[in-house]
Amino acid sequence: MSDAPTSRLEGLHKMTPAERLQAVARQTNLGNEAVSDLVSAAEGRIELADRLVENAISVMSIPVGIATNMIVDGRDVLVPMATEESSVIAAVCNAAKRCRGTGGFVTSSSGPVMAAQVQLLGGGDPNNVRLKVYERINEIRAICDEVDPLLVKVGGGFRDVDVRVVDTAEGPMTIVHIIVDTRDAMGANAVNSMAEALAPKLSEWTGARSLLRILTNLADRRVVRARAVWPLEEIGGQEVRDNMLSAYHFADADPYRAATHNKGIMNGVSAVVLATGNDTRAIEAGAHAFASRDGRYRSMSRWERDPAGNLVGSLEMPMAVGLVGGATKVHPTARANLAVLGVSSADELARIIVSIGLAQNFAAMRALATTGIQKGHMALHAQNVALVVGAVGDEVDKVASELKALGKVRQDLAEEILARIRADNS
């Protein structure tokens, strides 16, 4: 019999997390240290993990830091951000401080409206199928609202229907969008359940076959906009402002640059989405699809100068986050982070998240248009490298500060410095 590990771990899902970990450790020859790291990382949280996902063996923690200086719609707010990346939180603090004098971030939103798609195939002329669906709007409303009476009770529920004919490689298809106000929920389960309940009826009414029934993450009816003004003196003068505008024009014109420009925005956005137990993948998919809505992938943000010469930034993006549903209500860290934010609606949370994205973008563009991104990264990056080479306790700061003084944050140099410190101390 071979000792090679097998991925066929029959019955893993029926075991307790501790039994699973033992089974995985046996298969992978995991050392005791790794096993006890996985055990201690999950201390007090493994039961919840086991309820949230399948085959849970541990929990992975991500640092939560606080973004300071944020004013959103006239309210000072401390924003928890969950991220493993250094400099992300400091960047937001800095950008938000620089626009406090002009009132911080002003937002608007289209409201918490989501859509689910039902794919209809066949049934004759797709435009005819489309009209047959529109004729049933009252029945559609009744079916959808019956699925989620609680949502209706809190003021949400079915709002409208939109039917599109989409040309595909196998011919035209009729795509029904059911449009639902999901209030304080992200709404995926809510609209998916409605789409599933509705699909057989759509087939019956139109003679078409229904296939996929699922929400769209391109939540372009749930768009939030944030805007802020950075005065010239806070930017570093006209030259920096103009360089930042050139940086923006580059990103808006070139997808290679836009991908990284938008990744910077998502550094802020995803960190708050994660900190509040929301679905990062849903937000990211929606954001990037929305950034491509003109048929070309572009900058998510817009930058311009106002008549007084100040730099004005705005960010418009879909923001399907919730305060109920998913992990938001059940994850104790998410609940605590929501309490720090002090938000009373999903819409308020969405506005803060988009403001954070804009702050992040300002900081990244300013760094790129001036000293470059590495300088700001240096301090925390030097500590990370010190940790990577095995520095512990006081050694971490010592190694990091020597690396910074050298202006070269390199692993080989960190190893040399650590060896020297240890030799000096022995």
Instruction: Name the residues that contact ligand NAD, by CB under 6 A.
Output: 148, 150-151, 154, 156, 182-190, 192, 215, 217, 279, 282, 322, 324-326
Q: Considering 50, 73, 85, 196, which one is annotated as catalytic?
A: 85
Q: Under DSSP, is residue 141 helix (H, G, I), strand (E, B) or coil?
A: helix
76 is catalytic: no
Pick the closer one to ligand NAD by CB: 325 or 357. Answer: 325
Nearest to 165 by CA among 175, 157, 155: 175
Pick the closer one to ligand NAD by CB: 62 or 150. Answer: 150
Pick the closer one to ligand NAD by CB: 78 or 142. Answer: 142
Distance (Å, whole) CA 72 – CA 227: 10
Measured between alpha carbons, how far is residue 176 from residues 138, 171, 376 in Å?
Answer: 15, 16, 48
13 is catalytic: no
Longest CA–CA span in the chain (Å) reads 85
> In whole angstroms, how close is the CB of 193 to ligand NAD at the nearest point?
8
Q: Considering 377, 381, 395, 402, which one is annotated as catalytic?
A: 377
Q: Considering 148, 181, 234, 279, which one is annotated as catalytic?
A: 279
DSSP per-residue letters across 198-240? HHHHHHHHHSPEEEEEEE-S--TTSEEEEEEEE-HHHHTSHHH
> In whole angstroms, how close is the CB of 158 to ligand NAD at the nearest point?
12
End-to-end, the C-alpha distance of the chain in Å comes to 49
Pick the closer one to ligand NAD by CB: 217 or 355. Answer: 217
263 is catalytic: yes
Backbone angles phi, psi at 77, to 5 degrees: -140, 135
> In whole angstroms, how close is the CB of 358 to ligand NAD at the nearest point?
23
> In whole angstroms, how close is the CB of 279 to ligand NAD at the nearest point?
4
> In whole angstroms, how close is the CB of 190 to ligand NAD at the nearest point?
3
Pick the closer one to ligand NAD by CB: 150 or 406. Answer: 150
Q: Which distant-in-sequence residues (6+ apart) come within 8 Å of 236 by Cβ?
A: 366, 370
Pick the closer one to ligand NAD by CB: 150 or 339. Answer: 150
**Which residue of the chain is nearest ligand NAD when measured via CB?**
325
153 is catalytic: no
Q: Which distant-in-sequence residues (6+ apart) come within 8 Å of 295 by Cβ?
A: none
Q: Considering 263, 329, 375, 408, which one is annotated as catalytic?
A: 263
Backbone angles phi, psi at 205, to 5 degrees: -70, -35
Nearest to 202 by CA among 263, 120, 322: 120
Distance (Å, whole) CA 220 – CA 43: 40
> In whole angstroms, how close is the CB of 92 to ligand NAD at the nearest point?
25
Active site residues: 85, 263, 279, 377
